[in-house]
Structure 1
Amino acid sequence: MMEYKKVKAQLISVEEFREIWKNEYCLGPIQTFDSVMVSCYEDMFDHVFFESKDRIKGDKSILSLNRLEKIHWIKAALQDPDAILKSGWDKSNKSYFDNRRISIVKGNFVVVIRFTGLLKAKLVTAYEKSDISNIMRSPDFDKNSKYLKK
C-alpha cells in the first residue's frame, strides 16, 4: 500500500516548497508503476500549486495550502499500482485524448499526465476535486495504448 504523507504547509515557506518541488520532481523523471518516465519542470510549480480565483479566467492567483500539503502525493499517485486510471477529456474537441492519463487516488486526488512518446510523459497537473463523478464516467485508460507497448 502506498504511503500518502501530508506536510504542514503553513510551516514551510513558498521558497522551501519550490526547493522540494525541484529536488523531488525536476532533477530526473519519476518512474510510474508501469514504467512510464514522467518529467516535471520547475516552471510548473505555479500551475500545480496555485488555484484560480476565477476559474473562467484561470488566473492562478491564490497559493493553495491544500495542494502544497499534498506535494508528495503526486509522486505517490504516479507510482501507485492501485490508482484508478482514466482517459483525459479534450473539452475543445469534445472527445477523449489518447495521450492523457488521469490517475485517481485517495478517493478524489487527481494527477494528469500527457504522453510524449513510448513510456514517456509530462506532468500536466494535480489537484483534489470534491466531485469526480465526471472523471469516473470517462473510459478507462487503454492498458494496450501505443504509449505503453514496446
Structure 2
Amino acid sequence: MFNDDKDRKLCIICSKGTLDMAYPGLVLANAALMEGIDVTLFFTFWGLDIINKRKMNKLKFVPIGNPSMPIPNAIGGLPGMTNVATAVMKREIKHLDFPEIGEFLEMIHDAGGKMYACKMSVDMFGDMYMMKEEDIVDVVEDVVGATDFMEMSEDAQIIFI
C-alpha cells in the first residue's frame, strides 16, 4: 500500500517519438492524475515529436527491429510495412477509444499535468530539423534545461520511456 501521508509525484521522461512509445507515457500520466498523483512529463530527443504540432498526430509505428512483432524483420522492412503497421495500431487505439495524441495531451494538461520540453533537444533539433519553440503545442508550459528538470523531479518516481 502507498503512504497516504506523503504527496506522490511522478515524472515521466518521454524520449521516443514513435506511436508505440508515445502512448505508454500518456496513459501512465493520465492514470496517475486520476489517482491524484502530481505528474510532470519531460519530452526530450525524439520524444519532442509527441509535442510537435506538425508531427504529433502523424507518429508512425515501425515494425522492424521489434522482436515482439509476429512478423519476421525481413517482412517488416518491406516498403509500405511501416504505413500498414501504423494503420493497424491506429485502428486498435481507436477501437479501444483512446484519444489521438493531441487530444490526450490536452486531457493531461486539463487534469493538472505539467509538461516541459528539453532545451538541449529543442536547440539541437532546431538546427538539424528546423524545429522551433513555436512548433511545440501550447499545453507545454516551458522549454527547460536538464538542471531545471532535476529540481522538478526531486522526491518523485521517475519513469524513462
Structure 1 and Structure 2 fold alike (TM over 0.5): no
More helix as a share of residues: 2
More strand as a share of residues: 1
TM-score for the superposition, normalised by structure 2? 0.21
Structure whose CA Rg is larger: 2
TM-score for the superposition, normalised by structure 1? 0.22
